[in-house]
Chains A and B, each alone.
Chain A
């Protein structure tokens, strides 16, 4: 079978790998773009080559089987894939994406593009969150998996979501002292949600085991808390928090790992021209996709957490599903039974996702509690008060305007980190729902682009500056 151009997959996590595997099985040779040095994505991130001796079981815990299967899947097709590690896709225009690898930029034309761009932590600030020693949950996990180190000697875990307990458990297993797990969800809410979690007994059992293990090791697990501040002068010395009754506590620690679930990386989909819709469960604008993963732009497909948070298992299924859709669009005869099976399992996960949301609800009062002098955009040094001012005096009724007037989201991260905060604060200040303030428009480059290293060859020559490199 021939496609006009090799399909391009951005992302080599569970979604990207399963998509590649399916395309290879159909006789295609996809290009797989991976920002990391080794495939696996964030959830199944592999340690760097050489000298890293922790066994997979220690790195991935209960997920070792899945991690290993995903790693092996990619290894098995390695020779039949144009795999490009350490490569950033920094821009997308109609029919071509721009890549940066080893300091050289190249434009890669595509007819079919699968975006499996994954997610990062969703964070909301609290006083002291910019102190050295405060990390995101995902960042803390990367430190453990990729760098073989912990973010501190005595770590406090804060926030909500499955990652809160997973990372805490992984730190416990790694022998790190835990100052406590501080969950923003009230205990009764979690207990009530437990019944629904029986849909997926394995996940429920895992979650209960995490908590049991933490308690068995004497780790305090607190529910219904709100952070007061990360205290310290040079770096974090303690987490100060309110319990459900409003009493203040101080827990000494030298690091805080926090997060409130995940947020999808959607900039490439935006630059590719995909239409977006507001997703209430994710409290975010997401690229529209049909059940198979087709976006609103012909030839552009979406899979995995980059198009909506559903987790690693769903990402694997969605990756395969979207590859089948792509093959179908190419006129290939595809396995209809397999498609139905994938659809069935994906909708089962979606149902379970609703249960998880009930167990780990987003603390939508958190934004109100952010003091005016708390930094919300650390690149540009913008405080909550500055943002609230432009909202309350009528100058900004949507996110891009707020960005223009206050600089929030204008720095190196381009809103990838502070965007969620800005949306929450702005919508609360304006009294709209989280969907009422629009979304930040993506602008290239989606991550900082080095000036010096970007030009592949002197201008004026064939194949120079940004010409297609197949």
Chain B
């Protein structure tokens, strides 16, 4: 008797799955590489690998779980290639927990972005400019602080406050559905 063969998706179905899970994948890779500027490159590599292995995926099984496993492998590869001190990586247990939780997480980034825009509008102009300037540059916090003539510590606190305000505002909007 023939064993039951896995049921691979068509390329079109696969693209659909991969497209839908882009945000989760990106979040997952960033969660494992916090503060790494190269995180999106790693996510891209993971995408390429996932596509390469598409024939191994069986329809009806958990796509996120499967793709996260590949993404994690790419993260490990990246760390290896960087040959960098790996003190600042999470324990394996924590990485597993993050993987399983992010697989469940609601893909609400679109409404979040909309809420964020409204909340940004509500910020004081100086705060908003500071935040956008910070995100536009690739400088380290210290270099950025020096350039705008502020102390790194003070800047860190300011940025944190702005982010906290934004985060609160976003949660409030999402909770009341005001963003829609």
Partners in one complex: no
Residues of B with Cβ closer than 8 Å to A? none
